[in-house]
Amino acid sequence: MADQEFTDAIALLKADHRAVEALFEQYEKTTGSAAKKKLAHRICVELKIHTMLEEEIFYPAYRGKIEDDTLDEAYVEHDGAKVLINDIEAGSPEDDFYDAKVKVLSEEITHHVHEEEMRGEGMFAQCRKVEEVDLVALRDRMLARKQELMAQEEAGGLPPAEPKAVRLQPA
């Protein structure tokens, strides 16, 4: 299931990052409740799929091979985003704080992307130094899973994002 558009798993993840960044930019320029709702949903779906790919396939491939703290922080950052994703999906642009939630989600994702893509010491730089992981084979597994998740979204929707590291407590 090779896709030559993405040379390897990291290229696939970076392409996802650029796509979501573009969607956030588009959201900032969007007016009208229906258009905002549709765009926010696209952002949330893209992020749910991306986090599932990383958590199910990419991160486990590097556990014990790069700094554990780097991976642990990534899971916690994902969970912070998942809380907002679920709240945004459950709400509507007419709700108080809706635009603020999308803005904060954008800021959280910008931070997370920086942590992954930082030259020299970022997660992806660490991963590139690990020779025993085949990034092309990882790409192929991720693309296959991405197709499954996209088909699930089209067939009826993805379930709410599920935090893995953060235990949500009632206030």
Predicted confidence at residue 120, as pLDDT, reads 87
CA proximity to 59, closest of 109, 1, 124: 124
Structure tokens, 130 = 């690990």
- Among 92, 95, 85, smallest CA distance to 24 is for 85
Q: How far apart are CA 165 and CA 66, in angstroms?
A: 19
Q: What is the pTM assigned to this prediction?
A: 0.94
Who's near 162: CB < 8 A, 6+ residues apart?
82
Per-residue pLDDT for 1 more than 60? no
Residues 127-146: tens digit of each pLDDT: 999 999 999 999 999 999 99
Q: What span, in angstroms and rounded, lies between the C-alpha atoms of 36 and 154?
A: 19
Over 60: is that where the pLDDT of 156 sits? yes
Contact 72, 165 (CB under 8 A): yes
Least confident of 12-21, 38-47, 83-92, 160-169: 160-169
What's the CA gap between 142 and 66, in Å, rounded? 20
CA distance 167 to 133: 31
What's the whole-number mean pLDDT along residues 60-75?
95
Q: Helix 98-117 crosses helix 9-29 at what angle (to 10 degrees)?
A: 150
The answer to whether 74 touches 58, Cβ cutoff 8 Å, is no
- Cα angle 126, 130, 134 (rounded to 5 degrees) comes to 120
pLDDT in tens, 104-119: 999 999 999 999 999 9
Backbone angles phi, psi at 159, to 5 degrees: -70, 170
